[in-house]
Chain A
Amino acid sequence: MYPEPTDEELVALLKKNDSVALETLFNRYYKILCQFCSLYTKDYSAAEEIIADLFIKVWDNRKSNIILNVKNYLFVSAKNLSINYQQKKKEPVDSIEDLDLAQHFLQERDTPFKILSGRESYGITLKMIDRLPQRQREVLLMSRMDNLDKHKIAAILGISVRTVETTLYQALAQLRELLKNARNYTLGS
């Protein structure tokens, strides 16, 4: 692997058929792309497959000039590929998820002190994140990814930085509401 070349240098090396450059890009972006992809697919192994195919596409297109900014290219392609994947498989997933949720609550009710202790209830929070409106969910989760600040998120999603901020705050407010309801449901019913 090369020490610390920039993305641009790597793309130039790629054009010269350098597969080590591809490997460097892979090591640099694979993890974050898989995480990003899993926002849409909600299925981590599917995300890893999509991203592997994406790098194959990068290699096949190395001679053409469609890759101007490799980072943007990777993220935008990853998003499009994940959405295609999502549309193709027409998820029957939701109902099953709801079922899991009910079971989860039942277990929680058995041990009330778990509900009170903070870390144990991460599980509920994670499930509730998937119930947020799509855009809020995207922004909330992307802003938790390493190396992605609000400017980059804005670029990837094609919205303004200001919108990223307000969407994030809406997401937080909405999620607190959802959690409050979930907690009442658990304790009340």
Chain B
Amino acid sequence: MEDQSYRLIVEYFEKTISDQGLVELQEWIEAETGNLEKFSETIQILEASKLYFKEPENAGASWSKIQAHVNHSEKKALSYKIHLVAYAALFFLICGIAVIGYRFAVPANPESLEYAQISNQDGQHSRILLPDSSIVYLAGGSHLKYEKKFLGRQRKVYLDGEAFFDVTHQPKRAFVVQSGEISTVVLGTSFNIKAYTDEHKVEVTVKTGKVGVVANVNGKSRLLKYLVPNEQIEINTESGLYSSGHADAQALIGWINNNFVFYNTSLKEITASLEHRYGVKIEFTDPELGAAKLTAKFKNIPLKQVLEDIETLTGFSCTVKGKHIFISDNDQKGGKIME
């Protein structure tokens, strides 16, 4: 009888109780004084135990961890096949050569995997429309390579330098930016990546949406972090150390409009940005000067004025010789070389 009453209460709670059962339950509750209490206590336990479960909080992170693993193992599988593909390619190459002579004047067949490459000189910006209608703003001194048609499961681009990406949302195909050993994986968001190879640093900042940053460590993909808007991760590609924190994405992508905002940034980093922006070469007479830290905003102003501001802020002096600029410490060197 004990079991029977619990069965009825559970069925009542799960709303699977029959009409007959409902009548029985009613009768049982009225039969004894303690039964109503037992009924309400049991219902309360059932309600509470439903609350025992939390909602998953890190589903996104879990998935990108899995995805990183899947992508990596696909890559490995590919390399087994590559021999076979190489022979096949050789065969087609031989056939191809025969055909090309004939086809010489005819436009080439664009079906195969072709890459487009865009390189910016220092001091030059460009806005690139990718085949999936994502937009890339490529900064000076930067290089972008991408498939002319995104045919694969991923939309993959390669970046050396700095660029702001506004990616169209395609839930089935991730957009992957490869910069050295660091990949940035997104579905549809906007974010900025600064990854000049010679600076040995990759910096990813998110403006909208969610971005996964994956490192390739000893051949294994590893998710470093999921970033949300106004979060930034900075990875030292030499030491492998990384740190993340908050950043003002809106200010950071000001470079698109030639607005530079630096918060407590070393002079060396600032001059590197200026080099890319204005197409000049900036050198320090004493490398230690580069360690000075500045906070400054340069809103689309000529280089001359930027240098004046730096002089005012640091007390150093800037000497311009054609495309070369030398920064020296007044106290040590005494006076300008040129007027």
Question: A-side interface residues toward B, CB under 8 Å?
Answer: 1, 17, 19-20, 22-23, 26, 30-31, 34-35, 38, 44-45, 48-49, 51-52, 55-56, 59-60, 118, 121-122, 125-126, 129, 140-141, 143-145, 165-166, 168-169, 172-173, 175-176, 179
Contact = CB atoms under 8 A, between A and B. Distances in A.
B2 A129 contact: no
A19 B49 contact: no
B48 A60 contact: no
Given A17-B77, A168-B10, A144 B53 contact: yes
B56 A172 contact: no
B44 to A, nearest CB: 6
Contacts of A52: 61-63, 65-66
Interface in B33-86: 38, 41-42, 44-59, 61-63, 65-67, 69-70, 73-74, 77
Given A26-B66, A45-B57, A48-B58, A144 B49 contact: yes
B153 interface: yes
B58 A176 contact: no
Contacts of B56: 30-31, 34, 44, 48
Interface residues of B, number: 39
B27 interface: no
20 contacts: A19-B70, A23-B67, A30-B59, A38-B54, A52-B63, A52-B65, A56-B69, A59-B70, A121-B44, A122-B51, A126-B51, A129-B49, A141-B53, A144-B53, A168-B10, A172-B10, A172-B42, A176-B41, A176-B42, A176-B45
B171 interface: yes
Contacts of B58: 45, 48
B172 interface: yes
A168 B74 CA distance: 46
Chain B's interface: helix, strand, loop or mixed, by majority?
Answer: helix
B197 to A, nearest CB: 30
Interface string B195-213: 0000000000000000000
A60 B76 CA distance: 12
- Return the 5 tightest CB-CB contacts between A and B, nearest first: A125-B48, A52-B62, A169-B6, A122-B48, A35-B53
B238 interface: no
A132 B14 CA distance: 22
Nearest to A132: B49
B76 to A, nearest CB: 11
Contacts of A38: 53-54
A184 to B, nearest CB: 14
B7 interface: yes
A125 B49 contact: yes
A22 B54 contact: no
Interface in B1-35: 2-3, 6-7, 9-10
A169 B46 CA distance: 11
A67 to B, nearest CB: 16
B116 to A, nearest CB: 26
B73 A26 contact: no
B50 to A, nearest CB: 5
A172 B45 contact: yes
B293 to A, nearest CB: 37
Contact of A168 (B6, B48, B70): B6
B73 A60 contact: yes
Contacts of B52: 126, 129, 141, 144
Interface centre among A20, A30, A125, by most chain B C-beta atoms within 10 angstroms, is A125
Contacts of B3: 165-166, 169
Given A19-B153, A44-B57, A129-B52, 17 more contacts: A1-B172, A17-B77, A22-B66, A22-B70, A38-B53, A49-B62, A52-B65, A125-B45, A125-B48, A129-B49, A165-B3, A169-B10, A172-B46, A173-B6, A175-B45, A176-B42, A179-B41
A145 B42 contact: no
Contacts of B46: 144, 172
Interface centre among B6, B48, B171 (most CB of A within 10 A): B48
A24 B275 CA distance: 47
A169 B59 contact: no
Contact of A48 (B10, B41, B57, B67): B57
